[in-house]
């Protein structure tokens, strides 16, 4: 049975652009009201206004920098002031970097762990218990196709998404006998700001990528069917399957080829 979403509230992190923004549009079209959080308050306010005009969506805009150590606690504190319970958490905030070990900023690497792992864990365990008590609600954690194999030059990002996938699958199994759902969305390359921010600005122009509309539509369909994870696209599903058949050595060296040229060419050409 499909979960009932209309007139309930969803929290979306990283809602100012990309997949998070698309979740806001598609959930609003299903009648949900939204708690929108990200760093860019102006974009959140613009999005909230659009959603109200299109769907009459109620919104709570909470600008927070989740990289900061106390950011997630501030977010939870603000949410607890709202009168209605959270029925869906979309843990979308996250980022990565593509670089050699020696060129990585250690602080940025630590920030990836903070947002991609610590924040996801905190928000998942903050809201799931009350959903279980109501026997209603769910969590969608945004993973990645990289969750299925180690990826040289973006090792921390891929490892963080493997954590998200494994955590989500474990929780899905725990909740099997309830009406609470947990889904890991594991998209491949998607037309967002991700690669620009990761330092490989030419990636999307040279490689196939899904639209955010395709990715989110797949995710919500999988959520309706109570799947543990969702990999949009046949090619991406095949890649994830093949990694289970090949040797780990073969997988990691094939994965290395993806970004090797981009990170090892002279800086003047990385444009």
Q: Kindly list the catalytic residues.
A: 157
3-state secondary structure of 59: strand
3-state secondary structure of 202: coil
Q: Which residues of 17-31 are buried (b: 16+ CB within 10 A; e: fewer)?
A: bbbbbbbbbbbbeee
Give the whole-angstrom CA distance, residue 123 versus residue 89.
Answer: 8
H or E, element range at 184? strand 180-185
């Amino acid at each position: 049975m499909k979960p009932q979403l209309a007139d309930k509230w969803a929290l979306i992190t990283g809602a100012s652009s990309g997949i998070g923004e698309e979740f806001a549009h598609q959930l609003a079209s299903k009648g949900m009201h939204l708690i929108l959080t990200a760093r860019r308050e102006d974009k959140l306010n613009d999005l909230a206004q659009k959603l109200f005009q299109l769907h009459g969506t109620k919104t709570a805009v909470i600008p927070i920098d989740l990289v900061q150590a106390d950011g997630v606690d501030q977010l939870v504190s603000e949410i607890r002031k709202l009168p209605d319970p959270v029925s869906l958490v979309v843990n979308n905030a996250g980022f990565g970097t593509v670089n050699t070990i020696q060129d990585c900023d250690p602080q940025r690497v630590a920030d990836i762990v903070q947002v991609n792992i610590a924040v996801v864990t905190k928000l998942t365990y903050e809201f799931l218990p009350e959903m279980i008590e109501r026997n209603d609600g769910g969590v969608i954690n945004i993973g990645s196709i990289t969750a299925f194999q180690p990826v040289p030059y973006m090792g921390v990002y891929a490892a963080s998404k493997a954590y998200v996938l494994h955590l989500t699958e474990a929780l899905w199994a725990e909740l099997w006998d309830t009406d609470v759902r947990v889904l890991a969305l594991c998209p491949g390359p998607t037309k967002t700001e991700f690669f620009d921010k990761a330092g490989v600005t030419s990636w999307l122009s040279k490689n196939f990528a899904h639209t955010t509309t395709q990715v989110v539509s797949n995710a919500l369909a999988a959520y309706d069917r109570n799947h543990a994870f969702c990999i949009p696209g046949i090619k991406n599903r095949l890649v994830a399957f093949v990694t289970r058949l090949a040797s780990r050595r073969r997988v990691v060296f094939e994965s290395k080829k993806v970004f090797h040229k981009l990170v090892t060419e002279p800086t003047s050409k990385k444009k």
